[in-house]
Amino acid sequence: MKVRIASGIEEVAGCQHVKVFGEPEVFAGWPFNNGLEQYGDGSELVVNFVRYRCQVRQRPDGSNAYWSGMHPDSGRRRSLDGGQTWQVEGHLPWDRGKIGSTVATSGELLEDSWKHGIVDTLPIDPANGDHGLFTGSGRVGGVDRSFVCTTHDRGKSWNGPSFLPQNGVDFSHNRPSWLVRPDGAFLTFPTTAQKTGREGQVFTYISLDRGVTWAFLSVMAASDSYALIMPAAVNLPSGRILAAVRVHHYPEGLWTELYDSNDGGRTWGFAGRLNDHGAPCDLMVLPDGRLLAIYGCRRPPFGIRARISEDVEGWRWGPELILRGDGASEDLGYPRGAVLPDGSVCTTYYFHEREYPKPADCDQFHWGTRSIFATIFKP
């Protein structure tokens, strides 16, 4: 069986857009890479994002360029009301963004743990709303490595890290993407280096001790001709696991493919294409069992789009939905979403607002003032 998608585009009415973080001359971005944590009954959310100073400076030849530097903000906001309002939250202990800040932590935590082989990660109970798990990556010991940290107090403090083994690849880039199988095993899905040295294949790792120790389980997706990166995966009622994977195909191809596993992630197969254009994509299971896929659209009209499956197994998907289409450029997206207790969805992403156009004589393709937004809607 292969995934089928309906044609057509529809606008979603009643979307509420909330600015989570934004300052002129500050680039804020990539919640997909940094995560949206969900705690308690599901209405407590924490979004993580990168942030850099981003001022326009003049080159000696008179042209404009963006100057970049670290920004002291924690890159972390907490909402206690399902994304309606957001408060500043402290740094993650492994965050490197310390220039100009009073926070004494940084990548030293990762370096020290790696250097001394210390693992003080504590297991979590996935049914406990106070518990959570962060899967990410950092440059440690001169190599990009994936790691896992756990929390028992809704992300206020963390223990760990546990490093994922490299298993012969030059680097491993995990994003916050993990799930718990019905049998209690934890899975996470780092993107790893291909033999060409480029980011481009997805592995599956397993933990049998609730997040402390991790081992290679399988190759989810790999291709000789294009890059498969940045997976998001969910459990389905039948026991299948469905994953959305970003495709980066030379020269301009950017779309989402679906991969599935019928044996708990031991083996994977190609299930089909989710769209013509748009990635990375976050997947969610709605309360009625349908699936929701959200991704950025980097073609006019620039914005955030979605599809909803017509069945609980993700074989048939409806038309493309526009959550917002008012972006100023292709530099936006990277959404992470959460299903709230009332069945609505809060998705966080970065966005290029039209009030911050790129200087006419600036030759840099990306960069500029970008803000973090949350969009709340009822699927």
Partner 1 sequence: MNFREALIEESVVVASDAASYIGQPFEGGAWSFDGGRELLVAALETPCSYQSRGSVDPYSVRRGRAAWQTWRSRDGGSTWQRDAVLHRIADTLARLEEGGIEPLAHGLTVPDSKRLMAMLSVPVGQHLTAGIFVSPDRGGTWQGPNLINGLSLSFKESYAESAILPREDGSLLLFATSRHPNNIPRPAVMLLSGAESYLTLLSYLPHHVDMERRFPSPVRLPDGRIVVAVTQRMAEAPGHTLIFCSDDDGRTWESLQRVNDIGDPAHLLALRDGRLLLTYGVPLPPYRLVARLSEDGGASWSEAYLLREGGGSADLGSARTIERADGTLVTLYQWNDADDEVIFSGGRRYLAALLWRPQ
The site for partner 1 (CB under 8 A) is made up of: 165-168, 183-185, 203, 206-209, 212-213, 215-217, 219, 263-267
Query: Is 159 or 267 the residue whose CB approaches partner 1 more closely?
Result: 267
Smallest gap from Cβ 114 to partner 1, in A, equals 16
**Which H or E element spans position 294?**
strand 291-297
Smallest gap from Cβ 195 to partner 1, in A, equals 9
Smallest gap from Cβ 185 to partner 1, in A, equals 7
Query: Is 35 or 160 the residue whose CB approaches partner 1 more closely?
Result: 160
Query: Is 64 or 166 the residue whose CB approaches partner 1 more closely?
Result: 166
Distance CA 295, CA 318 (A): 15
What tokens appear for 371 in the block? Answer: 């803000």
Query: Is 201 or 347 the residue whose CB approaches partner 1 more closely?
Result: 201
Distance CA 242, CA 261 (A): 7
Would you say 19 and 373 are in contact if contact means Cβ atoms under 8 Å apart? yes
Distance CA 121, CA 161 (A): 6
Rounding to the nearest 10 degrees, give the CA dihedral for residues 356, 360, 361, 365. 60
Query: Is 181 or 290 the residue whose CB approaches partner 1 more closely?
Result: 181
DSSP code for 146: E
Distance CA 29, CA 48 (A): 9
Smallest gap from Cβ 243 to partner 1, in A, equals 17
Query: Is 156 or 266 the residue whose CB approaches partner 1 more closely?
Result: 266
Would you say 377 and 82 are in contact if contact means Cβ atoms under 8 Å apart? no
| Radius of gyration over every alpha carbon of the chain, rounded to an integer in angstroms | 20
Query: Is 164 or 332 the residue whose CB approaches partner 1 more closely?
Result: 164
Smallest gap from Cβ 245 to partner 1, in A, equals 18
Smallest gap from Cβ 266 to partner 1, in A, equals 5
Smallest gap from Cβ 146 to partner 1, in A, equals 14
Q: For residue 186, list its beta bridge partners.
A: 180, 207
Distance CA 294, CA 338 (A): 11
Spatial neighbors of 318 by CB under 8 A, at least 6 apart, are 5, 6, 307, 308, 309, 310
Query: Is 18 or 185 the residue whose CB approaches partner 1 more closely?
Result: 185
Distance CA 294, CA 281 (A): 5
Smallest gap from Cβ 122 to partner 1, in A, equals 13
Would you say 255 and 245 are in contact if contact means Cβ atoms under 8 Å apart? no
Closest C-alpha among 329, 333, 324 to residue 353 = 329
Q: Which amino acid makes up residue 41?
A: D
